[in-house]
Amino acid sequence: MTDNPYTDAPGYRRWRQAVAQTPPGEIDPVTRLPFTIGREDKIVSAGSCFAQHIARHLLQNGFSYFVAETAHPLVPAETAEALGYGLYSARYGNIYTARQLLQLLRRAYGTFRPNDDVWEENGRYFDPYRPAIQPGGFATPREFELDRQQHLAAVRRAFEEMDVFIFTLGLTECWVSVADGAAYPMCPGTVAGRFDPARHALVNFTVADVAADMRMFIEEIRAVNPAVRIVLTVSPVPLAATAEDRHVLVSTTYSKSVLRVAAEELSKLPEVAYFPAYEIVTGSFSRGQYFGQDLRAVTEDGVNHVMRLFFRHLAPGGGDGAVAAAPASDGDDYLDRMSDVVATICEEERLDTSSR
């Protein structure tokens, strides 16, 4: 053999050394990142359900997680959480797609106002783009409108003041309005509203779609906040259900593949980093131990592995020692840890409630 590009490749580029011969809890797929996060940086996050874990660990480890929209001080903490306060930096709920994120930015700055403005059901009023944040809906149109104004003002504040934005890409399947392309977080008729095939259409985004939406978001967000650093992750949580006429496993593979490739393309942009949460949780080295018994929810062991590496590489000195590695185990203890799943508020799970 002559010298070739693999001759002196470091261990992290070789499967045998980097994966097969490394204890599962010590596997570290992070190599180079373009920047780090300091404790004083204002951090804003958004994304699918898995993104809630990132916010929780940042707060627990003393980072400046910026919450621009808070509940009234007299509202009990459990009630505030049920109303969507504190899960993210503003009360926007889960943002599953890049299109939804771009739309939120444009709605906040008044450059896009969807035709489908409000859903009325039995005298209660629901936000089509935050259908789950107010269980039972708002009592009056005035209450709805004031809350929306307050929310979009909080979004603007979060976007303008943040130093770091962490976004977790979750899905490619999205229901949109036929009239103007407005993207819904959930299919109308699942959480609120009424589904109408003449008014609502399924879109399953491609790599080009996701990359284009995120590039537009980055361009437009930097028009109001030029110095913001962006961290992209891909949610490891499989689809709860697919609207495509095929097996949900195939749809999940398509969706995550598209998001991962789009994130790779976007990570080549200045001050945009990709963090491999998806690879850490779904990698074969964990032998399925990072998913709960439903094979969707991520266990605390999986979340801890992700956040341990997050603090080690992206936020050094923040919490590497506080997020302990899980000891190897088997038998009953393995089953106990499989069920140790940290709850997140995830509207997508409702898509599976109608199964027969």
The pLDDT of residue 341 is above 50: no
Backbone dihedral region of 62: left (phi > 0), alpha (psi from -120 to 50 degrees) or beta?
left
Instruction: Please tell me the predicted confidence (pLDDT) of residue 327.
Output: 43
The pLDDT of residue 194 is above 80: yes
Rg (CA), the chain: 21
> What confidence tens digit (pLDDT) does each residue in 303-326 have?
999 999 999 999 986 654 455 554
- The domain in which residue 247 lies consists of 37-350
Q: What would the two tokens of residue 263 be? A: 């994130």
> What confidence tens digit (pLDDT) does each residue in 203-220 have?
999 999 999 999 999 999
Assigned domain for 158 exists: yes
Residue predicted with more confidence, 356 or 142: 142
The pLDDT of residue 47 is above 80: yes
Q: What is the mean pLDDT of residues 108-115?
A: 97
C-beta separation of 348 from 49 below 8 A: yes
Residue predicted with more confidence, 16 or 1: 16
pTM equals 0.89
Cα angle for residues 206, 208, 209 (degrees, 5° grid): 65
Helix (H, G, I), strand (E, B) or coil at 119: strand
The pLDDT of residue 286 is above 50: yes
Assigned domain for 174 exists: yes
The pLDDT of residue 351 is above 80: no
Q: What is the mean pLDDT of residues 67-95?
A: 89
Instruction: Please tell me the predicted confidence (pLDDT) of residue 338.
Output: 36
Assigned domain for 10 exists: no
Q: What is the mean pLDDT of residues 264-288?
A: 97
Assigned domain for 22 exists: no
The pLDDT of residue 356 is above 80: no
Assigned domain for 3 exists: no
C-alpha distances out from residue 39 to 63, 167, 306, Å: 5, 18, 18
Residue predicted with more confidence, 99 or 48: 99
C-beta separation of 71 from 83 below 8 A: yes
How buried is 322 (Cβ within 10 angstroms: 0-12 exposed, 13-18 middle, 19+ buried)?
middle
How buried is 265 (Cβ within 10 angstroms: 0-12 exposed, 13-18 middle, 19+ buried)?
middle
Rounded Cα–Cα distance for residues 209 and 172 (Å): 9
Helix (H, G, I), strand (E, B) or coil at 299: strand
The pLDDT of residue 355 is above 60: no
The total of structural domains in the chain comes to 1
Assigned domain for 19 exists: no
* 348 band by pLDDT with thresholds 50, 70 and 90: low
